[in-house]
Homo-oligomer: A and B are copies of this chain.
Amino acid sequence: MAIPRPGKPVRGSQSGAPIMAAFDLLGRRWAMGIIWNLSSGPATFRGLQAACETISPSILNRRLKDLREARLVERTLDGYQLTESGSALFRHLHPLGDWAIGWARLVADEEE
C-alpha cells in the first residue's frame, strides 16, 4: 500500500489535506506505537519488535517502510530512528500520554 501523498486524494480528503494524509498514515496499525517506541532512541528491528510486544515481523517491516517513505523514520548504523520530522511529530504526540491516563481513569470509572 502506497503512502498517502498530501495534495493528492487521500482517505478523508479528495483535495489531499495534509492532516488527512497524516491521519491516513498514522492511523495504520502500529504506526503510532512504533513512533512512540522510537522516541526514546534508535532501535534495531528485533528490538522494536520486542518493544511492541506482539507485532509480527511482516507488519513491522511494512510499517517501517511506510514510515521511512514518509520521512518520519530513517535507518542508521544504530538501527531505526526518528527523523527530525518524526521527532517533531512525537513532540505533538507526547502529551497524549498524560491525556490517555486521565481517559483511562474515566473509562474505568464508567464501566463499573
Q: Which residues of A contact B (CB under 8 A)?
A: 5-7, 11-14, 18-23, 26-33, 36, 52-55, 70-72, 85, 88-89, 92, 95-97, 99-104, 106-108, 110-111
Distance of A99 Cα from B6 Cα, bound (Å): 13
CB distance from A74 to the nearest CB of B (A): 12
Copies in the complex: 2
CB distance from A19 to the nearest CB of B (A): 5
Given contacts A103-B85, A104-B6, contact A22 B54 (CB under 8 A): no
Q: A53 touching B85 by the CB < 8 A rule?
A: no
Q: Across the interface, do A27 and B32 meet the contact criterion of CB distance under 8 Å?
A: yes
CA distance A55 to B27 in the complex (A): 14
